[in-house]
Copies of this chain bind each other. A is one copy, B any other.
Amino acid sequence: MTMQDAHTPVSGSSSDNGGGERQIGWHKGYLTGSRPDIRVPVRRVHLTNGRDVTLYDTSGPYTDPQVETDVRRGLAPLRENWIIARGDTEEYPGRAPRPEDDGLKHTAPRGGLRNLDAVFPGRPRLPRRGRDGQAVTQLAYAKRGEITAEMEYVALREGVAPEVVREEIAAGRAVLPANVNHPEIEPMIIGKRFLVKVNANIGNSAVTSSIEEEVEKMTWATRWGADTVMDLSTGRNIHTTREWVLRNSPVPIGTVPLYQALEKVDGKAEELTWEIYKDTVIEQAEQGVDYMTVHAGVLLRYVPLTARRKTGIVSRGGSIMAAWCLAHHQENFLYTNFEELCEILRAYDITYSLGDGLRPGSIADANDEAQFAELKTLGELNRIAKSHDVQTMIEGPGHVPMHKIKENVDLQQEVCEEAPFYTLGPLTTDVAPAYDHITSGIGAAMIAWWGTAMLCYVTPKEHLGLPDRDDVKTGVITYKIAAHAADLAKGHPGAQEWDDALSDARFEFRWEDQFNLALDPDTARSFHDQTLPAEPAKTAHFCSMCGPKFCSMKISQDIRREHGASAEEVEAGMAEKSKEFAAAGNRVYLPLAD
């Protein structure tokens, strides 16, 4: 078995784009499943020692030189034929777009909003939904014992048998977010038996940023490894921004429909109604949103539990629903209408991401009564959603000191019947604003090791401002580290092959291989070049930390070379070898050219 095979066990054949001469570096490749239209993208790293390493790839068609992409046309609808072939959906005219979808109800357009450039030009399709409201969800198929093309796709991608994927989805332990109106995605799976996933948040806000920036942030985030992207836009142009993001996204897109619903009532929480919310959900369902955060667990009776907290309610959705509950002194309309919402979501295969509106916003508030009361309600809602065949994951905190993290996963897994946990960090201390990717990366790695299936990234700007391009990259890379560290700790098959390949390259001074295998080859290479810029340094048998004379790896290699690979041989022949070593001039450091 080659390293490539070991890293991503595949049941199908594999083919590379490009062909021709083997070039050192990395390029896009594909694993092909049982039929030609199941082609799973991978990142192939060609090493200087003749080996290849195959890595998971989230970057979409943008990194395939053979695919021409055009953000104004959108990506090809990869899944369209699969969806149509199942014969259980139908096209329909859909909801007519309204000015308030883009926040234009009470404000005059200005600065070219909704001009021809802003409206997405490339949408020919009608929306689609389950015929007669039937469940067209991966959960419904899995329960019936069907292995869909999407399931086969993710099985190939994860290196497991398709039946494992089906089983995990059927049991509600994994979700495969894939709205029938988002055929552009490359299917992926979220569940504790699979690789830990990372979500990146993007979204304009009332204060700053534009459509173009958000689309670019999405492709940039997936370029560095984001498995899903949430569009949390809150300003104007919400509908239009989302359309551009969806049509160009190779990964599932999540939203919080409540944000847009609130825009439609001019930010007055008490004016929200189930009807406005439901209409917003349908609007987004028809666009193709793959999963939705729903704060249905913020119950009226839980709100007072937050009164004595240090930082009250820090979830936007949670605070909006809390304000609504108090204003009306009525139960949360998302909770009271939850079954009707299930009926909508199942007709599009939208996955629930049950929001933790009462998550702690500080170390002091972690694991408190409000948080865990809501979690138990999310467990109740999870059972209801499953009974309607709606895929469901559960959101988690937030801010939690290390010693209180495990209790979060354990309780969630218990009360939510092992539904995938999707946590925001958690931050393990509050004292380092500007470094919350790190305070939370620590907690994220730990909570993922203990069973969290997807991590929502945190950028350096958390608590301070909106992330720019660099922040998005830093956040994604930090969280890929946390996710991969967890994959290693969980003993995920194949995870360690990547580390081993990089460690081998390091020990053998194959600098180019080290860079190409790195999570961020660009930065690794540039850091190396800052100290030793010359080209020969990239093949030198030492590095800038120790210089040529003190290099420990160099000495280790000499030891190995002098003593052979077998520990037994070394032990047996040590006295003899010691003499040879002296006879050979006691060369601790071999010439650089060797």
Query: A: which residues have CB within 8 A of B?
Result: 205-208, 234-235, 259, 262, 267-270, 300-301, 303-316, 318-320, 322-323, 326-329, 361-364, 401-403, 428-435, 437-439, 441-442, 445-446, 449, 460-466, 468, 477-478, 480-482, 484-486, 488-491, 496, 498-500, 502-504, 506-507, 514-515, 517-520, 523-524, 527-528, 530-532, 543-560, 562-567, 570-571, 574-575, 577-578, 581-582, 586, 588-589
- Which interface residue of A361, A431, A437, A460 has the most chain B CB atoms within 10 A? A431
Please measure, in the bound complex, the distance between the C-alpha atom of A574 and the C-alpha atom of B498, giving whole angstroms: 57
Please measure, in the bound complex, the distance between the C-alpha atom of A571 and the C-alpha atom of B308, giving whole angstroms: 12
Quick check: A363 and B500 within 8 Å, CB to CB?
Answer: yes
A581 touches which one: B301, B308, B326, B545 (CB < 8 A)? B326
Quick check: B208 and A552 within 8 Å, CB to CB?
Answer: no
Please measure, in the bound complex, the distance between the C-alpha atom of A545 and the C-alpha atom of B496, giving whole angstroms: 37
Quick check: A546 and B322 within 8 Å, CB to CB?
Answer: no
- Which interface residue of A430, A554, A586 has the most chain B CB atoms within 10 A? A430
**Given the complex, which residues of B lie within 8 Å of A504, measured CB to CB?**
310
**Given the complex, which residues of B lie within 8 Å of A520, measured CB to CB?**
432, 434-435
**Given the complex, which residues of B lie within 8 Å of A477, measured CB to CB?**
432, 435
Quick check: A465 and B304 within 8 Å, CB to CB?
Answer: no
Do A560 and B312 contact each other (CB < 8 Å), given the known contacts A326-B581, A550-B262?
yes
Q: How far is the CB of A260 from chain B (nearest CB, A)?
A: 11
Quick check: A363 and B206 within 8 Å, CB to CB?
Answer: no
- Which interface residue of A320, A481, A523 has the most chain B CB atoms within 10 A? A481
Q: How far is the CB of A473 from chain B (nearest CB, A)?
A: 11
Q: How far is the CB of A245 from chain B (nearest CB, A)?
A: 19
A563 touches which one: B304, B488, B502, B531 (CB < 8 A)? B304
**Given the complex, which residues of B lie within 8 Å of A518, measured CB to CB?**
431-434
Please measure, in the bound complex, the distance between the C-alpha atom of A498 and the C-alpha atom of B401, giving whole angstroms: 13
Please measure, in the bound complex, the distance between the C-alpha atom of A210 and the C-alpha atom of B253, giving whole angstroms: 51
Across the two chains, which residue of chain B brings its CB closest to A316? B552
**Given the complex, which residues of B lie within 8 Å of A498, measured CB to CB?**
431
Quick check: A311 and B544 within 8 Å, CB to CB?
Answer: no
Please measure, in the bound complex, the distance between the C-alpha atom of A489 and the C-alpha atom of B403, giving whole angstroms: 5
A517 touches which one: B311, B431, B589 (CB < 8 A)? B431
Please measure, in the bound complex, the distance between the C-alpha atom of A259 and the C-alpha atom of B549, giving whole angstroms: 11
Closest 5 pairs between A and B when the two form their complex, measured CB to CB? A312-B556, A465-B531, A206-B547, A362-B503, A319-B555
Quick check: A464 and B543 within 8 Å, CB to CB?
Answer: yes
A532 touches which one: B207, B570, B586 (CB < 8 A)? B207
Please measure, in the bound complex, the distance between the C-alpha atom of A444 and the C-alpha atom of B566, giving whole angstroms: 33
Across the two chains, which residue of chain B brings its CB closest to A552? B319
Do A524 and B431 contact each other (CB < 8 Å), given the known contacts A206-B550, A362-B499, A550-B316?
no
**Given the complex, which residues of B lie within 8 Å of A464, measured CB to CB?**
524, 527-528, 531, 543-544
**Given the complex, which residues of B lie within 8 Å of A403, measured CB to CB?**
449, 488-491
Please measure, in the bound complex, the distance between the C-alpha atom of A267 and the C-alpha atom of B462, giving whole angstroms: 48
Please measure, in the bound complex, the distance between the C-alpha atom of A320 and the C-alpha atom of B552, giving whole angstroms: 7
Quick check: A485 and B402 within 8 Å, CB to CB?
Answer: yes
A484 touches which one: B431, B466, B562 (CB < 8 A)? B431
Please measure, in the bound complex, the distance between the C-alpha atom of A584 and the C-alpha atom of B268, giving whole angstroms: 14
**Given the complex, which residues of B lie within 8 Å of A322, measured CB to CB?**
555-556, 559
Quick check: B566 and A499 within 8 Å, CB to CB?
Answer: no
- Which interface residue of A480, A520, A531, A574 has the most chain B CB atoms within 10 A? A531
Quick check: A428 and B552 within 8 Å, CB to CB?
Answer: no
Quick check: B262 and A488 within 8 Å, CB to CB?
Answer: no
Across the two chains, which residue of chain B brings its CB closest to A511? B464
Across the two chains, which residue of chain B brings its CB closest to A444? B442
Please measure, in the bound complex, the distance between the C-alpha atom of A484 and the C-alpha atom of B402, giving whole angstroms: 11
Q: How far is the CB of A592 from chain B (nearest CB, A)?
A: 14
Quick check: B578 and A430 within 8 Å, CB to CB?
Answer: no
Q: How far is the CB of A539 from chain B (nearest CB, A)?
A: 15
A433 touches which one: B449, B465, B524 (CB < 8 A)? B524
